[in-house]
């Protein structure tokens, strides 16, 4: 019998405590055996103007997750180069974990955009979907969208109810540019690493 593997992708520019909390809530709620944290190389649907080098982002993820034995770094999107399409990654993950169940972990904002993703119908067949519903989200509207995906595409969609943690990578980058503290918004090791490498000061 296979195991249950969560997959949480993003630019992680930088990774922060809201990312980590979401991944841990999903792992705990759906009894996932592990969560793969997968930094994107070049995101297909995001502005990349202030995206720091991939090596910095990979190192920050390593630092952020090394104390959690249930989290694991994957560099398959970084290694593949070019634009990062989630469907390509899941095709590769299916080859790596042929007998296991994959769970794509995404926020509600990404879920509403899912039909714009590259080959999204193929992706839906490769994975279950865990959607994080935060306190600022209309849960009834999200449930309707989840039911639409279940009926229209026979998708397996699960809603994760969790508290809102109002932290974003954009907030962190802006505070750094303004010379303000980002302590407690992300792990201390990541905070020190960004300072040592002068990340986000000029972007």
- Omega of the bond leading into 126 within 30 degrees of 0 (cis): no
- What pLDDT score does 135 carry? 61
The helix (H) or strand (E) run that includes residue 169 is helix 169-177
Query: Is the Cβ–Cβ distance between 84 and 43 less than 8 Å?
Result: yes
Backbone angles phi, psi at 163, to 5 degrees: -70, 150
Q: For 168-186, what is the mean pLDDT? A: 96
pLDDT tens figures, 11-55:
999 999 999 999 999 999 999 999 999 999 988 867 777 899 999
Is 189 in a helix, a strand, or coil? Answer: helix
pLDDT in tens, 137-172: 788 999 999 999 999 999 999 999 888 888 999 999
Residues 6+ apart with CB under 8 A from 187: 17, 20, 63, 64
pLDDT for 164 = 81
Which of the four pLDDT bands, split at 50, 70 and 90, describes residue 81? confident
pLDDT given for residue 71 in this prediction: 98
Phi, psi of 9 (to 5 degrees): -105, 165
Q: How far is CA 133 from the centre of its chain?
A: 14
pLDDT at 49: 77
Q: Please check whether the domain covering 4-166 is classified as CATH 3.40.50.620.
A: yes
Cβ 32 vs Cβ 7: under 8 Å: no
**What is the percent of the chain with per-residue pLDDT over 90, rounded to a whole number?**
86
pLDDT digits (tens, 9 = 90+) for 18-29: 999 999 999 999
Q: How far is CA 113 from CA 14, 46, 106, in A?
A: 22, 12, 11
- Could you tell me the residue ranges of all domains in the chain? 4-166
Give the pair of three-digit tokens for residue 164: 């809102």
User: Is residue 134 over pLDDT 80?
Assistant: no
Q: Which two tokens stand for residue 60?
A: 């920050």
CA 187 – CA 129 distance, rounded (Å): 27
Q: What average pLDDT does the segment 107-115 reach?
A: 93
Whether the CB-CB separation of 142 and 159 falls below 8 Å is answered with: yes
Q: What is the mean pLDDT of the chain?
A: 94
């Amino acid at each position: 019998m296979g195991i249950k593997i969560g997959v949480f992708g993003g630019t992680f520019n930088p990774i922060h405590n809201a990312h980590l909390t979401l991944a841990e809530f999903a792992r705990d709620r759906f009894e996932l055996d592990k969560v793969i944290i997968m930094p994107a190389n070049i995101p297909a649907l995001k502005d990349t103007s202030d995206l720091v080098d991939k090596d910095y982002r990979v190192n920050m993820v390593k630092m952020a997750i090394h104390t959690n034995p249930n989290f694991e770094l994957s560099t398959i999107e970084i290694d593949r180069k070019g634009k990062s399409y989630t469907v390509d990654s899941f095709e590769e993950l299916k080859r790596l974990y042929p007998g296991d169940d994959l769970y794509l972990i995404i926020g509600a904002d990404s879920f509403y955009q899912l039909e714009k993703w590259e080959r999204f119908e193929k992706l839906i067949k490769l994975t279950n979907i865990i959607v994080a519903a935060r306190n600022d989200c209309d849960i009834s509207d999200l449930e309707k969208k989840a039911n639409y995906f279940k009926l229209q595409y026979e998708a397996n969609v699960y809603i994760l109810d969790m508290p809102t943690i109002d932290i974003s990578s954009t907030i962190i980058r802006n505070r750094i540019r303004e010379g303000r503290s980002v302590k407690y918004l992300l792990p201390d090791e990541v905070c020190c690493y960004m300072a040592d490498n002068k990340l986000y000061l000029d972007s």
